[in-house]
Amino acid sequence: MLGAATVDASTSSEAQTVAGTTLVHFGEVDQGVYKGSEPKTNADYEFLHARHIKYILDLELLPSVRHSEQKKAKRYGILLIHGRLNASPIPPSHKHIERIMAILRNKRYHPIYFHSKDRLAGHQQEIHAERDRKLEAARRQRHIRRQQAA
């Protein structure tokens, strides 16, 4: 089992950073599967490398090849995998979730670290509330149209 990460306790419990890095929300989800924020600095990659992370699964809607990110990860012996994940109020497709879960379950990729864009961190409730408002508005419109058609 890997050693526990040192966490900066001076920040809120929602945004704890790993000491000496910019990584927030770092944690072990399952044996060999870690999650957290997007690694940005050399210290972030050194931290992941020290935990023998072999792959980073980058979850985003439109995978973009950021040469600098791939180059930095490669320097630490880490390969970047792009996983497509919808980040809008529309839920991700079943196909995308199944592909991501297949990668995370495959021990060939362990230990693996995954992250989604930091811009979404802490906004899940807002995203789901907005989606619910839109769905309710669409239901009301559908109901009105049915009444008018009858």
Domain chopping of the chain, boundaries: 13-119
What is the CATH T-level fold of the domain 13-119, as seen in this structure?
Protein-Tyrosine Phosphatase; Chain A (3.90.190)
User: What's the rounded mean pLDDT across residues 18-31?
Assistant: 90
CA geometry: angle at 36 spanning 42 and 93, to 5°?
A: 125
pLDDT tens for residues 59-68? Answer: 876 655 567 7
Q: Is 86 a residue whose pLDDT tops 90?
A: no
Which tokens is 148 given? 């008018």
User: What's the rounded mean pLDDT across residues 9-38?
Assistant: 78
Q: Is 90 a residue whose pLDDT tops 80?
A: no
Neighbouring CB atoms inside 10 A of 132's CB total 11
Q: Is 144 a residue whose pLDDT tops 70?
A: yes
- Determine what percent of the chain is predicted with pLDDT higher than 70: 72
CA geometry: angle at 8 spanning 87 and 122, to 5°?
A: 20
CA distance 101 to 95: 10
Query: Amino acid letter at 141?
Result: Q
Instruction: Quote the pLDDT of residue 9.
Output: 35
Instruction: Quote the pLDDT of residue 120.
Output: 45
Q: What is the per-residue DSSP string for 93-140?
A: PHHHHHHHHHHHH-GGG-SEEEEE-GGGTT-HHHHHHHHHHHHHHHHH
